[in-house]
């Protein structure tokens, strides 16, 4: 196994490993160590079936199913297809996901541990993904700002996300059901990584409605600063996808963004497995959703 750094703050390319193989425990341990060090790992030139993608992912933890049930794969519910292709005669519901910086599952009480995204088709140009280190974002804050943020919490709300998108009448029932199944949660603004012990900023511009205990007007300035600071260029790595790339990232200390930087008439087709995280945060109303 060879490891090559891709950017200063995060990102490394892993070569000399065939993910189709049933890797031994020593190799998995080496990959995990590189993952904890570099936060984002790129495995180029893989040729994986869906079953092989799922099998490799499970070596790093239990897989979760997407919180929005309609996005779970029909044949393989562990797979989330992120694509603009036509599915069942209509454009995929995931065609425009990820257009803001975010961490996966942060508006739940069990944010995702990590994700493994496999590239099956790419447009002629663009279709990239940006990643940012939330370790770097936290470490470069002043001691005074760290002292302000450490005890604060955010309100993360799927309803806030939908409200910013603007929802048509035809989508209203579906949106209402999604929000009912996923009520607002309170999350820390600063987290401690359970394996490395390092502090990381925990923000999500698409889902944070306000600072808990503050109103939206009071929260706005601080949140605007944090969202801008967290994604400074020196904290980032931009991945230029090729078919056959598998990229895995540690959701506990990174954010990512999928910009609309490609021709929408050309197919971009990605498949994601997601690792289930540990319990974190609480429901805003202190009541779990109905099951």
Backbone angles phi, psi at 260, to 5 degrees: -85, 70
pLDDT recorded at residue 9: 98
Q: One digit per residue, pLDDT tens: the chain, 291 residues?
A: 999 999 999 999 999 999 999 999 999 999 999 999 999 999 999 999 999 999 999 999 999 886 555 555 567 789 998 888 877 777 777 777 888 899 998 989 999 999 999 999 999 999 999 999 999 999 999 999 999 999 999 999 887 776 655 544 445 445 445 555 678 899 999 999 999 999 999 999 989 999 999 999 999 999 999 999 999 999 999 999 999 999 999 999 999 999 999 998 899 999 999 999 999 999 998 544 444
Number of Cβ within 10 Å of residue 163's Cβ equals 13
Phi-psi region of 16 (alpha: psi -120 to 50; beta: other; left: phi over 0): left
Burial of 65 (0-12, 13-18, 19+ CB in 10 A): middle
pLDDT recorded at residue 169: 41
pTM: 0.90
Number of Cβ within 10 Å of residue 212's Cβ equals 17
pLDDT recorded at residue 162: 65
What size, in residues, is the chain? 291
Backbone angles phi, psi at 9, to 5 degrees: -85, -30
Which two tokens mark 127? 């279709």
Domains, the chain, in order of start with CATH, read 2-283 (3.60.130.10)
pLDDT recorded at residue 58: 96
pLDDT recorded at residue 74: 67
pLDDT recorded at residue 53: 97
> Are 54 and 83 spatial neighbours (Cβ–Cβ below 8 Å)?
no
- CA–CA distance, 181 with 107 (Å, rounded to integer): 12
């Amino acid at each position: 196994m060879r490891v090559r750094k891709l950017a200063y703050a995060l990102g490394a390319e892993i070569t000399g490993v065939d993910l189709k193989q049933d890797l031994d425990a020593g190799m998995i341990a080496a990959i995990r160590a590189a993952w904890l060090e570099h936060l984002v790992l790129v495995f180029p030139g893989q040729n994986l079936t869906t079953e092989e993608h799922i099998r490799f992912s499970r070596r790093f933890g239990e897989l979760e199913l997407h919180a929005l049930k309609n996005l779970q794969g029909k044949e393989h519910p562990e797979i989330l297809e992120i694509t603009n292709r036509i599915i069942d005669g209509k454009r995929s519901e995931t065609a425009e996901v990820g257009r803001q910086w975010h961490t996966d599952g942060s508006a739940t009480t069990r944010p995702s541990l990590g994700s493994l995204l496999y590239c099956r088709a790419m447009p002629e140009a663009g279709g990239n993904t940006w990643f940012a280190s939330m370790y770097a974002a936290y470490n470069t804050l002043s001691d005074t700002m760290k002292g302000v943020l450490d005890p604060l919490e955010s309100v993360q709300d799927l309803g806030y996300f939908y409200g910013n998108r603007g929802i048509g009448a035809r989508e209203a029932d579906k949106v209402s059901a999604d929000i009912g199944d996923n009520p607002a949660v309170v999350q820390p603004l600063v987290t401690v990584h359970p394996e490395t012990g390092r502090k990381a900023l925990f923000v999500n511009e698409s889902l944070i409605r306000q600072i808990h205990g503050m109103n939206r007007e009071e929260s706005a300035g601080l949140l605007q600063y944090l969202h801008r600071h967290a994604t400074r260029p020196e904290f980032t790595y931009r991945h230029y996808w090729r078919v056959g790339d598998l990229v895995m990232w540690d959701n506990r200390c990174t954010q990512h963004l999928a910009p609309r930087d490609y021709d929408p008439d050309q197919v971009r087709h990605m498949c994601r497995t997601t690792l289930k995280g540990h319990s974190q945060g609480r429901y805003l109303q202190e009541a779990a959703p109905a099951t």
